[in-house]
Amino acid sequence: MTSVNAMLCRLRLHGFTLAELVIALVVLGILIGAAAVPFGRTLDRYAARAARDALAAGIAHARAAAIASGGAELVIDLRGARYVIRVAGAPPAAPVDLRAQYRVALSVEGQPADSVVLRFDALGIGRTTGRTFRIRRGSAEARLTVATYGRVRRW
């Protein structure tokens, strides 16, 4: 046993003082804080793009439902940032809530409105489309333009 004690005394394991640990934690906290702001902006940008893509998918779904059933409309509630697809003769589908899923705000360029209705005929052609939607979260923004005939452009 004396040889083990002698060996441990020769190694002299060193630890850290409390001041060294505090300084290391402060530096680490500053680095994490500096990285949090760009990371938050990146999350906002991706959430806005994902909400834009979800709205584009809803428009595509409404067009497909219109072709299959002879007509459909997509009702977009701008204040609630949600949409629902209505097909004649069928119960309305469950609404898709973009605000709950992505925490975004939705607006239409050029007109103050509470809701927008995009109608598609039996050929899937939009009759009252022609809108540009603006999806925002924090400082990030994504846009979606629906052409007069229902074609979608993401930007």
Q: What is the pLDDT of residues 86-116, one digit of tens each?
A: 998 888 889 999 999 999 999 998 777 788 9
Give pLDDT, residue 11: 58
What whole-number distance in Å separates Cα of residue 99 and Cα of residue 75? 15
Measure the N-to-C terminal CA separation of the chain; round to a whole number of Å: 75
Give all domains of the chain, ordered by start, each with its CATH number.
17-154 (3.55.40.10)
CB-based contact 102:134 (threshold 8 Å): no
Q: Using one digit for the tens of pLDDT, what is the confidence trace for 4-58?
A: 666 655 656 577 888 888 999 999 988 888 877 788 889 999 999 999 999 999 9
